Amino acid sequence: MRVTAFIDGFNLYHAIDATGRHHLKWLDLRKLCREFAPSPGQQLTTVYYFSAYATWRPDAYARHRSFVAALEATGVVPVMGVFKAKDRSCRRCGSAWIDHEEKETDVNIALHMLRDANLDRYDRALLISGDSDLAPAVRMICTLYPEKRIRVIAPFGRRYSMDLVSAAGGTDQARRMKDVHVERSLLPELVVDSAGRSVARRPEKYAPPPSHPFN
């Protein structure tokens, strides 16, 4: 069984961020996906990571670039959207500011899932997201390609999106990401590519606690 994973990067990031355990953000996504495709008869093929760079936040931007470099070294395929600047204002006080809104991620996930189903690149898809906006795409894939299965995985610490679960065929196609799945899927401090070259080092903010086995 060929398994392809589609990861909603910001959905997963904000779920982990809400726990306050920043070391969990330095996450080996391919290893994490193997937690949900463990049997010998399942072959994890492509792992897609969908996100966007917050270029106006220098520190966060630098950490994110390091993380994406580490993912690429482990064979993950990043698909990056964009943030669009939007003018905001307060009607009460008249103050104005520039906000940023993430664009393209939901569409990119939907298109890649549908394209790869059409090209028969997977038998089962893992969708790591709690975003109900993806439910129509999941429903369409299950209708057009009933032989394929989509397993919805709720990001760490979050509940299922029941719209997504229903679109995928019910709770038999849903799993929860647990603490143990994340803790045993962390990247090493120094990530090297297949040629042994250093490509990324874990940001200091993502260092695990002193007693953690990854230290």
Dist. CA 60–CA 39, nearest whole Å: 36
DSSP secondary structure letters along 96-148: EEEEEEEESHHHHHHHHHHHHHHTT--SEEEEE---GGGHHHHHHHHHH-TT-
The tens digit of pLDDT for each residue in 136-162 reads: 999 999 999 999 999 999 998 888 889
CA angle 153, 5, 168 (to 5 degrees): 50
Domains of the chain with bracketed CATH: 2-206 (3.40.50.1010)
75-88 pLDDT, tens per residue?
A: 999 999 876 767 77
Mean of pLDDT values over 190-203: 94
User: Exposure string (b/e) for 83-94, b if CB count within 10 Å is 16 or more?
Assistant: beeeeeeeeeee
pLDDT mean across residues, the chain? 92
Task: Say yes or no to pLDDT of 188 above 90.
Answer: yes
> According to the model, what pLDDT value does residue 94 have?
74
**pLDDT at 112 (0 to 100):** 98
Check whether 28 has a pLDDT greater than 90.
yes
Helix (H) or strand (E) holding 43: strand 43-51
Return d(Cα 134, Cα 200) in angstroms, integer: 32
pTM: 0.91
What local confidence, expressed as pLDDT, does residue 97 receive? 63
Angle at 126 between CA 101 and CA 198, to 5 degrees: 75
- For 205-215, what is each residue's pLDDT tens digit? 999 988 776 66
Query: Whole-angstrom Cα distance, residue 109 to residue 47?
Result: 12
pLDDT given at position 215: 61
Task: Render pLDDT for 91-128 as a digit per residue (tens, 0 to 9).
Answer: 778 787 666 677 789 999 999 999 999 999 999 999 99
pLDDT beyond 70 at 60 = yes
Helix (H) and strand (E) counts in the chain: 7, 10
Q: pLDDT above 90 covers what percent of the chain?
A: 77
